[in-house]
């Protein structure tokens, strides 16, 4: 048990465990200390100097995020010296910041903008040379604008420490220092995987997704186009946050109604192809075991993870499941089965996926995920982009009664729903594998693979055999798992990897939350709980029970893994 430390903050007695920072201790006293470069579990460097406090008897001001509590100290968070220092610091940051706040994608959600307002700063007090940088738009998924960068280094820490990718870092020196890629290349020339976690970490508008909103409006307004949307499992757990609903609010039916109100569109449920993924993956895993193909098998649902493997582990690409992601499968089915059934020319069908992930924007551009030069999915919209479209359309989202998905892709199992949380794909697969191999549906919940730890291991007895599995989220954790497999230290049969910590519910395209929420609220758990509660309420808990999947196999795909299913639902990978 940790030793408890007694101190005073603004004359209020506080008792916290040893090792607690002054910033965290202040929260325990219901006192807010502003911060900018600090982000819990990501970045704690005391560089921005916005969180400075005065400590009685000490000279100068201390950064509250890095200063540990000490027995008996007296801290002042709002003294004249502290307020003056913070105000000057904010004004100095603004002196080199491109202040296009009205048209900035982060307007009203920008931490710097909020601080400037809270401290009533003069944004033009310090006038100096304002650097002009070329905006990096080289990738299909993220835009990097150094003209708005404040050098907090949260994106750098995320890319290097949390994701272990290292596509960006500090380059140059002195006044010319900036965040950039090696040799000042565009992101498309780096090992960037498109996860978008840098966007989530950025407190200002220096990083944001490349928008496809105009493309979708143009398709909706085009009378020659038939437009269909399908939404990923986690969107219903997070979209409400865009409209100021509490984290953990389930808004699936409101989401469907809001999308329909955008125009003459149909709205389908991507959980259907999450179920389809499980059936194909389960068949592939059994085939690998029987034919002694490369094991362990890694899941392939996450395009950020796939690109990470293509950049870093060419020798293990044969271990990746050949299954397309649920997004890829749905696009292929819509441009084939759905078009044939409804007598639509595939070139006249405009397919929009709504996803929690910026890497999905890269995935839709992969030539492997198209046919005859035509992409299976035309546009991938992030949760944030969908929220902006709904807001632009003037829809009172929170007042909607809600509607159901459109047939024939409406019904899906609870197993498909939990795909959005780390461990969800593994649990869904285990449910079906246990049924196929044991012939029983008794084992439904596999609790060991649930939760938000970065690496989870479990052993289950299926068909009389001990099966070792592993789940990892966050690419730095993924690298640890891959290296253990490579070295022979671990001998797993099946491994689930998600690029984003916590899985899709914490994806790079999800609604942005203020630091005051991100630093003190467990967003990953609240969002994941929505998916698990929905699964529990579903009468179908296993993917193989899905009547929609059964219909697809009966009418079009034949059987899992057979030629027709394989040609449509499976893919290949490219060493990079």
Active site residues: 281, 284, 301, 321, 360, 363, 368, 504
Q: Write the Ramachandran bin of 439: left for phi over 0, alpha for psi from -120 to 50, otherwise beta.
A: left
Report DSSP letters for 99-166, one per residue: --GGG-TTTTT-HHHHHHHHTT--TTSS---------B--SSSEEE-TTS-----HHHHIIIIIS---
Residue count of the chain, please give it.
Answer: 576
Q: Which two tokens stand for residue 280?
A: 């194909």
Q: Which two tokens stand for residue 270?
A: 């991507």
How far is the C-alpha of 463 from the C-alpha of 481, rounded, in Å? 26
How far is the C-alpha of 476 from the C-alpha of 144, rounded, in Å? 22
Residue with tokens 């820490």: 157
How far is the C-alpha of 321 from the C-alpha of 41, rounded, in Å? 32
Rounded to 5 degrees, what are φ and ψ at 470? -145, 145
Residue 144: CB atoms within 10 Å: 27
What is residue 500's DSSP assignment?
Answer: S
Report DSSP letters for 527-557, one per residue: HHHHHHHHHHH-S--SGGG-HHHHHHIIIII
251 and 544 Cβ atoms separated by less than 8 Å? no
248 HSE (CA, 13 A, CB side) = 10
Instruction: Give the 3-state secondary structure of residue 232.
Output: coil
327 and 377 Cβ atoms separated by less than 8 Å? yes
Q: Which two tokens stand for residue 480?
A: 């640890």
The β-bridge partners of 169 are 180
What is residue 265's DSSP assignment?
Answer: E
What is residue 23's DSSP assignment?
Answer: H
């Amino acid at each position: 048990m940790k030793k408890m430390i007694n101190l005073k903050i603004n004359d209020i007695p506080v008792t916290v465990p040893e090792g607690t920072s002054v910033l965290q201790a202040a929260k325990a006293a219901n006192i807010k200390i502003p911060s900018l470069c600090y982000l819990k579990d990501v970045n704690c460097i005391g560089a921005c100097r916005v969180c400075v406090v005065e400590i009685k008897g000490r000279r100068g001001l201390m950064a509250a995020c890095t200063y540990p509590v000490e027995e008996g100290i007296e801290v002042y968070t709002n003294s004249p010296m502290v307020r003056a220092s913070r105000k000057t610091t904010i004004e100095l940051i603004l002196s080199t910041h491109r202040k296009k706040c009205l048209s900035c994608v982060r307007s009203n959600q920008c931490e710097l903008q909020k601080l400037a307002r809270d401290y009533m700063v003069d944004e033009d007090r310090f006038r100096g040379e304002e650097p002009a940088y070329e905006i990096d738009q080289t990738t299909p998924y993220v835009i990097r604008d150094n003209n708005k960068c404040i050098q907090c280094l949260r994106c750098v820490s995320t890319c290097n420490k949390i994701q272990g990718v290292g596509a960006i870092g500090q380059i140059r020196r002195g006044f010319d220092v900036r965040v950039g890629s090696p040799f000042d290349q565009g992101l498309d020339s780096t090992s960037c995987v498109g996860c978008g976690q840098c966007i989530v970490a950025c407190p200002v508008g220096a990083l944001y997704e490349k928008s496809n909103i105009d493309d979708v409006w143009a398709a909706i307004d085009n009378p020659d186009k038939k437009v269909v949307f399908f939404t990923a499992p986690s969107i219903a757990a997070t979209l409400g946050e865009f409209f100021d609903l509490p984290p953990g609010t389930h808004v699936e039916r409101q989401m469907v109604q809001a999308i329909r109100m955008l125009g003459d569109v149909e709205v389908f449920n991507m959980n259907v192809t999450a179920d389809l993924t499980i059936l194909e993956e389960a068949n592939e895993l059994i085939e690998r075991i029987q034919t002694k193909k490369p094991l362990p098998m890694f899941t392939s649902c996450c395009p950020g993870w796939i690109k990470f493997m293509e950049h870093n582990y060419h020798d293990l690409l044969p271990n990746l499941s050949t299954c397309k992601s649920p997004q890829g499968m749905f696009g292929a089915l819509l441009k084939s089965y759905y078009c044939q059934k409804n007598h639509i020319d595939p070139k006249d069908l405009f397919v929009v996926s709504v996803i929690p992930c910026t890497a999905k924007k890269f995935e839709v551009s992969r030539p492997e995920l198209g046919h005859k030069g035509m992409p299976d999915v035309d546009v991938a919209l992030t949760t944030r982009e969908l929220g902006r479209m709904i807001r632009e359309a003037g829809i009172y989202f929170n007042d909607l009664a809600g509607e159901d998905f459109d047939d024939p892709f409406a019904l899906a199992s609870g197993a498909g729903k939990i795909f959005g949380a780390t461990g969800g794909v593994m649990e869904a697969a285990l449910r079906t594998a246990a049924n196929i191999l044991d012939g029983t549906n008794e084992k439904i919940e596999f609790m060991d693979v649930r939760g938000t730890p970065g690496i989870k291991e479990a052993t289950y007895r299926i068909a009389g055999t001990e099966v070792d599995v592993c789940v990892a989220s966050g690419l730095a954790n993924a690298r640890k798992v891959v290296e253990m497999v490579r070295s022979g230290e671990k001998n797993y049969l099946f491994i689930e990897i998600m690029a984003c910590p916590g899985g899709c519910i914490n994806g790079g395209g999800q609604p942005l939350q203020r630091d005051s929420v991100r630093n003190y609220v467990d967003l990953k758990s609240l969002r994941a709980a929505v998916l698990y509660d929905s699964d529990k309420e579903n009468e179908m808990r296993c993917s193989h029970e899905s009547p929609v999947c059964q219909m697809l196999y009966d009418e079009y795909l034949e059987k899992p893994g057979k030629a027709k299913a394989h040609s449509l639902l499976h893919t290949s990978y490219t060493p990079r």
